[in-house]
Amino acid sequence: MINFKINSNILYYFFPPAICLLTTIFWLLSRKYDNMGYYVSTFCIILNIIVIPIYLIIINFVIKDVAMGKKIIFSFSSSITSTTIHYLNYGITTKTLFSPDYETKLILFYEFIAPCSILAVFFVIAFICNLIKSRT
């Protein structure tokens, strides 16, 4: 018999992709209303570049009983999943999922790089702090 033990704190990492999935409703409405797509896209970009990394940093700081390796894996996968959901929503509603233009590729690149860079800097600082704390 296989016994799976899931830490309930891991569920906090599924919140950012869930928020991005909720924006799918607004993406589908943007096909009907012309200017709505711009606002939904701007909201998703701000969400993915600023809000989600800050949320993940706070969650990683608050949660103490999860190993650092799991925090790193879940943080990066949560951020990358949120960005992928944003691109899928954009591509499906604009019918350019498999043929994005240069600007879309550039925005998508920054949506991947910015959160991952913020999280990487945070984890390096956290690792150094843990190293200094363990030596004293």
89 touches 24 (CB < 8 A) = yes
Distances (CA, A) of 61 to 64, 66, 116: 7, 11, 17
**Under DSSP, is residue 87 helix (H, G, I), strand (E, B) or coil?**
helix
* Whole-angstrom distance, CA of residue 87 vs CA of residue 107: 10
C-alpha dihedral (86, 90, 93, 97), degrees to nearest 10: -110
30 touches 93 (CB < 8 A) = yes
**Is pTM beyond 0.75 here?**
yes
pLDDT tens digits, the chain, 136 residues: what are they? 566 566 778 888 999 999 999 998 888 888 778 778 888 889 999 999 999 999 999 999 888 888 888 899 999 999 999 999 999 998 888 888 899 899 989 989 999 999 999 999 999 998 999 888 888 7
87 touches 108 (CB < 8 A) = yes
Q: What are the residue ranges spanned by the domains of the chain? A: 10-135
